Amino acid sequence: MSQATASSSGVRTAPLRSGFWLVVLGAALWGIDPLFRIILLKSLTSSQIVLLEHVVLFLAAAPVLWRHRAELKAVRLRQAAALLIVSWGGSAVATILFTQALASGDFNAVLLLQKLQPLFAIGLAAVILKERLPKNFGPLIVVALAGTYLLTFGWTIPFGHVNSFISVSSLMALGAAALWGGSTVMGRYLLGSMKYETVTSLRFILALPLLFVITSMEGAPWQSPGGMGASAAIGINLLLQALLPGLLSMLLYYKGLNTTKASYATLAELSFPMTGILINWIVYHQLVTLPQIVGFALIWTALFFISNQQSRQAVPAGLDLSQTNQRSA
C-alpha cells in the first residue's frame, strides 16, 4: 500500500514541477521580443506592430480554436469576463498604460511600481481562486523581488522624492501591474474549464478587434519599408516575433499554468527580466554587473525553492478541473 501511495505521489508531483518550469520557460521567451521589435520600430509604430503581430497570431490560432470549438458552448458570463481581462486587459490595455506611464512619468518610479505585479497576482489568487500559501512563501517573495530590483536598479536607490510616486503615471504603472497580475489569475481560472490551447487562441483572437480600434484612433500613417529587402526583413522579424515570444511562449506558459498555482506562476514570470539582461549581454554587449549577478542568484534560488514547494502541494480541490477534463476528453 505504501508503494502504491509513493508511486501515485511521484506521478502527481512530476507534472506539478514540470508545469512550473514551463511557466518559467514561457516567460523567459518574452525577453527575446526586443530583438525583433527594435527593427520593426524603424518602420512601424508600437500599436501597428502589435496589430500586425496579432493578425499573424490570429491566422495561427484560428485553426486551433476551430478544433476546440466545442468548448465555447460551455463558456458562461464569468468565463467571458475572465477572457476579456486576459485578452483586453493583459494584452492590450496593460501594455498601453505601462508605455504611457514610461512616456509621461519618472522612469525609475514606474519600473519599481511595475515590480508589484506578483503582489497583485498573489492577492487576487487568494481571493478569487482561494489559493493558500505555505508558511515560508513570504520570505521567498521578498528574495525574488529583491533579485528583480537588483537586476533593474543595482545597488542604487532609484528615487529621490516621494512625488515620484504621486502622479498619474504612477497610477498607470500600478494599473498595468494589477492587470498583468489579474491576467495570470484569470488565465489560471479559465484553465479549470478549458484546454490551454483554447485559452491561448482566445487570448490572441479576442484582442484583435480592440487593437484595430486603437490603431485607427492613433491615426499614424502606414509607412512603406522601401524596397524588397526591407519588406522581407520586416516580414521575417514580424513572423519570428509573433511565433516565438508570442505564440510559442504563451502555449508553454498556459500549458505550465494548467498545473501551477497563479501565486507560484507570477513569481515564475520573473525569468522574463533575466532573459532581457542576457540578451543585452550577448547581443548588445552590455556588461553584466555584480548587482545583476546577485539578482540572478536570488531569483534562481527563489524559483528553485518555489518549484520544490509546488511539487509538494496539490492544487486545491475543485480548481484543477482541467486535468479531469483532459482525462475524460
pLDDT at 162 over 90: no
Say how far residue 168 (Cα) sits from the centre of its chain. Answer: 24
Q: Which has more pLDDT, 290 or 47?
A: 290
Higher pLDDT, 33 or 189: 189
Q: Which three cell numbers stand for residue 51?
A: 496589430
The 10s digit of each residue's pLDDT in 115-143 is 788 889 999 999 999 988 877 788 988 99
| Domain-wise residue ranges, the chain | 33-328
Residue 87 binned pLDDT confidence (cut-offs 50, 70, 90):
very high
Indicate the range of 1-15, 39-53, 289-303 predicted with least confidence. Answer: 1-15
Average pLDDT over residues 236-262: 91
HSE-CB for 252 with a 13 A CA cutoff: 21
The distance between the two most distant Cα atoms of the chain, rounded to a whole number of Å, is 72
- In the predicted model, what is the mean pLDDT of the chain? 81
Report the C-alpha gap between 76 and 184 in whole angstroms: 19
| pLDDT number for residue 105 | 66
pTM for this predicted structure: 0.81
Rounded Cα–Cα distance for residues 182 and 97 (Å): 15
Give the model confidence (pLDDT) of 17-34 as tens digits. 788 999 999 999 988 887
pLDDT value for 107: 66
In the structure, what pLDDT confidence band is assigned to residue 186 with cuts at 50, 70 and 90? very high
- Backbone φ and ψ of 8, nearest 5°: -65, -40
Q: What is the pLDDT of residues 206-227, one digit of tens each?
A: 999 999 999 999 888 887 666 6
